[in-house]
Every structure is written in structure tokens, then in C-alpha cells.
């Protein structure tokens, strides 16, 4: 009867041991994968910071509207990396650390299992010793009584440790389920918060890019090809390309407002001189008549 009870409790202990081993294995894998996920996210943040720097450097070389649009985009993208940094920190605190803590929790449960197994082995050993004593010295009541007392003590100790193990593993299972719910809920919440903010930031960044005035920047670029003194230099080239006669006429009459006025003045003076000569001629003719 006692032997059957020992076997039943041994099967129960193995089941509890399997439950602890299962948590140790899979929580360890989850912890490693989530930690790698966080590291990848942190590396993505670092690459994005490099991208922000390069966009700013490039923007400083561009035309006004493109420059402003790229800088606004870089500002929004940098803001997103602040949210990503918060995501990394929250994942580390709310997901990775609780999973990592199960390393210590599992270690404590293994200590409880070890104590229970030690008590069970002692009980089994005392039972075997009692059976041998009864076989070897069936008439020695003192030795048999002493072996029975030792077995009773071992059984009480094994029963106590088994009950403690059952309670602690029951609490362990309850806490495990609660922690799994919390860890994955936190993971989903953190990711939703980040992606919600990311959608807002990406929308603003998209709008900043769309606001870039292509025509205005193209006009600025085209004007940059022709410096301010381009027109005056073009006039010089055109003047040098004229024939000598055209240059002479231009110099006399068409080179400027002052010269045109001089030409007109000279023409008017010539008309006046001609009129005066006509008047003198008329007077001479009259004198000759007298």
C-alpha cells in the first residue's frame, strides 16, 4: 500500500518537474527572441539616425523649397526615432526583464523539487530498509519498531515537502499564466502605441514632402545658371558682334538718352542756323533793291 502511494507521488513529482522544465525551456527561448527583437529595433533606430543626418546634410545643398521640405521630413523622422527609443526601453522593461526573471523563479522551483525528491528518496530508502529488516529479523520487534519509526518520520517529511511542492507549483502555474497574459499584453500595447505615433509622424512627413514646390525650385535652379551680370555681359557681346558702321551709328545716336538728346539738339541748331541764313539773304536782297 505504501509502495503504491510512493509510486503515485513519484508520478506526480515528475509531472511537476516536467511543468517547471517546460517553462524553463520555452520562457528561455522567448526571452532570447524578444531580446533579439529589441536589439534589432535599437539597430533600426541607429540606422534611422544616420539617415536623418544624411538627409540634413543633403538638404543644405539644395534649392529653397526642396531644402525646407527635406529638413521638415528629417525633423519628423527624427521624432519617430524618439518614439522608437521609448519602444525599445518599454519592451526591455515590460517584456524582456519579466521573462528573464523566470530564470531565478525556475531555479527556486527546482530547489523545491530537489527537496521533495530528497524526502521521497529517504522515504523509499526507509521503506526498503524496513522490508529487509522484517525479512531478516522477523522476530526482532525492537529493530522492526525502530525501522518503522524511521519510516514514519521519512513519510511525514516527504508528505510535508510534497504538499509544499504542490502548493508552490500551483502558485507557479497561476503566476505563469498571469505573467504570460501581462507580458504579451504589454508587448501588443507598446507596439500599438509606437505604430500609432509612427502613422501620425509618417503622415506629417509625407505632407512635408508633398508641399515641395517643384516649379519654384526649378526656376531658382535655372536662375542660378545665369548670374545677375549675365544680361550686361550679353549686351557687350552683342555690341562687339556689330559691323563698324552699326557701331558708329550706335555711338552717335543710339548709345543712350543723353546722346540722343545731343543729336536732336544738333539737328535743331542746324535748322535754326538755316533759318538765320535765309533771313540774312532776304535782308541783303532788300538792300540791293534800294
Quickly list DSSP for 107-124. HHHHHHHHHHHHHHHHHH
**Domain ranges across the chain:** 16-215
- Per-residue pLDDT tens, the chain, 290 aa: give them: 556 666 666 677 788 888 889 999 999 999 999 999 999 999 999 999 999 999 999 999 999 999 999 999 999 999 999 999 999 999 999 999 999 999 999 998 888 888 877 877 777 777 777 777 777 777 777 777 877 788 778 778 777 877 877 888 888 899 999 999 999 999 999 999 999 999 999 999 999 999 999 999 898 888 888 766 555 555 555 566 555 555 555 544 444 444 444 444 444 455 455 555 554 544 444 444 44
Closest residue by Cα to residue 181 from 113, 111, 98, 108: 98
Q: Please, what is the Cα angle at 208 between 212 and 194, to 5 degrees?
A: 160
Asked if residues 2 and 127 have their Cβ atoms less than 8 Å apart, the reply is yes
Among the listed residues 200, 195, 165, the one whose alpha carbon sits nearest the alpha carbon of residue 87: 195
The CATH T-level fold of domain 16-215 is Substrate Binding Domain Of Dnak; Chain:A; Domain 2 (1.20.1270)
Nearest CA among 43, 6, 2 for reference residue 162: 6
Residue showing cell 525650385: 217
CA pair distance 212, 123, nearest whole angstrom: 84
Q: What is the rounded CA–CA span in Å between residue 216 and residue 220?
A: 6
Alpha carbons 278 and 290: distance in angstroms, whole number: 19
Amino acid at each position: 500500500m505504501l509502495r503504491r502511494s510512493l509510486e503515485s507521488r513519484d508520478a506526480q513529482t515528475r509531472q511537476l518537474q516536467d511543468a517547471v522544465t517546460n517553462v524553463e525551456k520555452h520562457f528561455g527561448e522567448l526571452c532570447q527572441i524578444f531580446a533579439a527583437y529589441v536589439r534589432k529595433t535599437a539597430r533600426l533606430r541607429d540606422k534611422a539616425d544616420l539617415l536623418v543626418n544624411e538627409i540634413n546634410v543633403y538638404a543644405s545643398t539644395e534649392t529653397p523649397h526642396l531644402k525646407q521640405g527635406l529638413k521638415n521630413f528629417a525633423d519628423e523622422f527624427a521624432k519617430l526615432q524618439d518614439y522608437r527609443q521609448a519602444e525599445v526601453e518599454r519592451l526591455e522593461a515590460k517584456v524582456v526583464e519579466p521573462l528573464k526573471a523566470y530564470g531565478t523563479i525556475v531555479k527556486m522551483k527546482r530547489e523545491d523539487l530537489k527537496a521533495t525528491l530528497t524526502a521521497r528518496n529517504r522515504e523509499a530508502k526507509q521503506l526498503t530498509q524496513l522490508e529487509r529488516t522484517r525479512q531478516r529479523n522477523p522476530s526482532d520487534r525492537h529493530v522492526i519498531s525502530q525501522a518503522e519509526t524511521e519510516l514514519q518520520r521519512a513519510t511525514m517529511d516527504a508528505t510535508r515537502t510534497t504538499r509544499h511542492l504542490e502548493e508552490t507549483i500551483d502558485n507557479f502555474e497561476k503566476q505563469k499564466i498571469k505573467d504570460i497574459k501581462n507580458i504579451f499584453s504589454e508587448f501588443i500595447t507598446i507596439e500599438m502605441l509606437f505604430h500609432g505615433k509612427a502613422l501620425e509622424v509618417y503622415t506629417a512627413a509625407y505632407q512635408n514632402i508633398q508641399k515641395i514646390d517643384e516649379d519654384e525650385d526649378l526656376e531658382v535652379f535655372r536662375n542660378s545658371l545665369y548670374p545677375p551680370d549675365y544680361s550686361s555681359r550679353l549686351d557687350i557681346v552683342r555690341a562687339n558682334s556689330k559691323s563698324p558702321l552699326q557701331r558708329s551709328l550706335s555711338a552717335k545716336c543710339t548709345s543712350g538718352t543723353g546722346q540722343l538728346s545731343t543729336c536732336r539738339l544738333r539737328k535743331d541748331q542746324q535748322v535754326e542756323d538755316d533759318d538765320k541764313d535765309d533771313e540774312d539773304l532776304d535782308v541783303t536782297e532788300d538792300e540791293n533793291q534800294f
